[in-house]
Structure 1
Amino acid sequence: MQTSDLRIALFSGNYNYTRDGANQALNRLVASLLGRNAQVRVYSPTVAEPAFEPTGDLVSLPSVGFPFGRGEYRFPTGLNAKIRRDLSRFQPNVVHLSSPDVASHAALRWAQDHDIPILASVHTRFETYPRYYKMGFLEPLVVRLLRRFYNRCDALVAPSQSMIDELLAMDMHDDISLWSRGVDRTVFSSEKRDLEWRRSLGLGDDEVAVVFLGRLVMEKGLDVFAETIVQLRKRQVPHKVLVIGDGPARGWFEDNLPGGIFAGFKTGAKLGEALASGDVFFNPSITETFGNVTLEAMACGLPVVAAGATGASSLVNDGVTGRLVPPGDSAAFAEAIGPYCTDPALRMSHGGAGEARSREYSWEAINQVVADTYCRLIEDRRALQRAEAGEAEAA
């Protein structure tokens, strides 16, 4: 089977209305598939003014605003009759589910009813989210719900070997392929460093900027980041803090990072310039399955200090391109960041090693893995159907 034979129905909880690493990967995947003459139809909630234009055909799913102060996200409420008719007209030969929400559960049942293979992609550690909203007691329940959802699919893809290992350990599935992530080297490179931009923010040429990049939401480990900066200040380690991004927890972060430089949301070339203009990248999050921002920081020549959790542990070579630290240990994070703030040679050595490693991540080769997985699942399903037809004839 060829990629051009594919007809993919892709379900996403957020395809383009708010920019994040997951939907950037999905849009790149769709672009790659369309470039190989596959047919793709995307089903996702939509808004009047999305963060960016979608790649491919996008069908709006019925949805409502997400609760708990996260109204920037939409919660799909299922598949209505109009969506089901659209699916029937499109006649997909594979269904791709990228978020375990209500619509994806309904799409899973629809695909099973029509004997269509199902691939699920894992983009975030949903089971860890309750602990950031004082509801950690719900984590075992979320794990059970995820296990039930994923095991009803035919296969999974995940963006890092460390995430695959976690999924296997949690018995989420036994057929999991690696769908890694790439980096756009025309945007992210050490050559994009802009001293004038730094100066405009009050950063001296010789001052070391510890960078946070991402949406400002608590599940990104903002509390650990802030406490680590407190530890650095107690140790009198010379540094500045540069925050790139925005989000609902910005007020909390500003209150807990006095003196921090908040550059706001950036995208495209401006994002590459801002990131390359930092000096040390600090990522305390444990919710990522890959960590696009970690790879982007490496491509910009920044040493990375990150939590030794899924995603970062597959990217950062401890002691070579940065440091991996036990999650949540702010004192250990400060201990790891300190030498980069005082030793320019170490900073340059580890940053250069990270930039060299980032060159291994090519989007085209990475996305072909997903196309190959689609084809395998379809061929396996057809073989099973032929075998069942033969048994029926023999009976």
Structure 2
Amino acid sequence: MHIALVTETYPPEVNGVAMTNQRLVRGLLAKGHRITLIKPRHQEAPPAEHASLQVHEVFGIPIPNYAGLKLGLPRPGELERLFEADKPDIVHVATEGPLGFSSLRSARKLRIPVSSTFHTNFQDYCADYGAAFAARWMMAYLRWFHNQCALTTVPDPSLIQRLEKDGVQRLQMLGRGADTVLFSPDKRDPELRRSWGATAHSPVALYVGRVAAEKDIPLTLEAWAAARKHCPELKMVVVGDGPVRKKLERQWPEVHFAGMRYDEDLARHYASADIFIFASTSETFGNVVIEAMASGLAVITYDYAAGKQFIQSESNGHLVSLADRQSFIQCTESVIQEQSKMPPIRAAARATAINYPWSATIDRFNHLLQKAAKTEQITPQIDIVSNSEQSTL
């Protein structure tokens, strides 16, 4: 099958959506499919890594406050001509930005089946960036976008329920897995720990992800600071970059901000910590949770998304009721006060991750794409949110 996969983020960019797309592309190539990858142009992007992979790059403009990330802006007619020449069996749109919108319209005009993935709760991000008033408009656009598709994959059952209530149709569960070869306790590095000021016996807490408002890193750091009162040698490491990093570095000079880390280096950072503190409430899934579990860390997170899917509290990690900030801090304190309970929980976390390989995700995605490719267009093409939709806003 010939699959056109459209995304506005892909490695060398580092985020959950980019890394997920790369793993899906590699998995589909391994199954013998031909892939046309459509994404914004990136100077540091490596050449195509497989004979059956064609990369089509479009012009992009930088996203404010997100170094390295771009919105794709294809030329008028560019994607229509590409699809007409390449004749993909299906177009899978992974992001809903300008590039995704152009791909959706072009494919539907040519009557090529389209599938999509709901990766990001953009409607929730509006409040984090001072635009809460726009949340309903954003949800209206996302609903319109995904309802033009034969199916939309979603990584979490609870999110499916929420989106169905918001009127999004034809949703299909597509779980995520862990690369348990890359992310492993075996990657633990004593020298790296020493660079953080940690000894062999002092615990290290870790956060990995975008350093952005929607991740609520201040709560993660507040929880660490509270736990540190019980264990002064507890270190804190933040891996990632983003618009609030400099502000947090000024506010928290005792925290080690490691910046962006990749591949084996990222795996070393995971494995060299002991506790993973993740206070974000904006995830559709949260790849970092299963990566931390695969690395053998004791995870503290909220009871939703990846945490809800994989963690049994007090058995292979620790869950806190969603958005209960005080309980989150108290849970972190308790974990540090009861460090003797940590080894079996960390071992159980690793064992859980091993049971969720990426190969199962690839098989499921392959099945869904084949299903969508056989689907006739079932909704009329509409250029913008319908008048009835607008009247409710």
Question: TM-score, length-normalised on structure 1?
Answer: 0.88
Residue equivalent to 1:391:
none
SS in structure 1 at match of 2:120: coil
Q: Match for 1:61 among 58, 61, 67?
A: 58
For 2:211, the aligned partner's letter is: L
**Pair 1:296–1:71, CA change in 2 (3 A):** closer
For each residue in 1:55-101, what CA deviation from the matched residue of structure 2 results, as whole angstroms up to 9, or x when unmatched?
5321112221223x234321122453333222211001111011111
Report the Cα distance in structure 2 between the residues aligned to 1:171 and 1:375, rounded to whole angstroms: 25
Report the Cα distance in structure 2 between the residues aligned to 1:351 and 1:156, rounded to whole angstroms: 34
SS in structure 1 at match of 2:152: strand
For 1:24, the aligned partner's letter is: M
Report the Cα distance in structure 1 between the residues aligned to 2:67 and 2:246, rounded to whole angstroms: 16
How far the C-alpha of 1:230 sits from its partner, in A, is 4.1
Q: Match for 1:330 among 325, 329, 342?
A: 325
Q: Is 1:43 aligned to residue 38 of structure 2? A: yes
Residue equivalent to 1:222:
217
Q: How does 1:283-302 map to 2 (within 5 A)?
A: 283-302=278-297
Residue equivalent to 1:120:
116
For 2:62, the aligned partner's letter is: G
**Pair 1:382–1:163, CA change in 2 (3 A):** closer
8 Å CA contact retained: 2:294, 2:354: yes
Residue equivalent to 1:316:
311
Residue equivalent to 1:107:
103
**Pair 1:326–1:139, CA change in 2 (3 A):** farther
How far the C-alpha of 1:198 sits from its partner, in A, is 0.7
Report the Cα distance in structure 2 between the residues aligned to 1:177 and 1:309, rounded to whole angstroms: 18
For 1:220, the aligned partner's letter is: K
SS in structure 2 at match of 1:42: strand
Report the Cα distance in structure 2 between the residues aligned to 1:291 and 1:79, rounded to whole angstroms: 33
How far the C-alpha of 1:309 sits from its partner, in A, is 3.1
8 Å CA contact retained: 2:150, 2:377: no
Report the Cα distance in structure 2 between the residues aligned to 1:54 and 1:130, rounded to whole angstroms: 35
Q: Match for 1:170 among 153, 166, 172?
A: 166
Q: How does 1:1-395 map to 2 (within 5 A)?
A: 6-50=1-45, 55=49, 56-67=53-64, 69-173=65-169, 175-233=170-228, 236-238=230-232, 239-381=234-376
8 Å CA contact retained: 1:162, 1:313: no
How far the C-alpha of 1:17 sits from its partner, in A, is 4.5
How far the C-alpha of 1:364 sits from its partner, in A, is 1.8
8 Å CA contact retained: 1:27, 1:54: no
Report the Cα distance in structure 2 between the residues aligned to 1:201 and 1:374, rounded to whole angstroms: 45
For each residue in 1:141-185, what CA deviation from the matched residue of structure 2 results, as whole angstroms up to 9, or x when unmatched?
211111111111111111222332332232222x22222222222
* Gapped regions of structure 2 (runs ≥ 5): 380-393
Work out the number of aligned pairs and report it: 375
* Gapped regions of structure 1 (runs ≥ 5): 1-5, 385-395
8 Å CA contact retained: 1:15, 1:54: no
8 Å CA contact retained: 1:225, 1:330: no
**Pair 1:383–1:331, CA change in 2 (3 A):** closer
SS in structure 1 at match of 2:3: strand
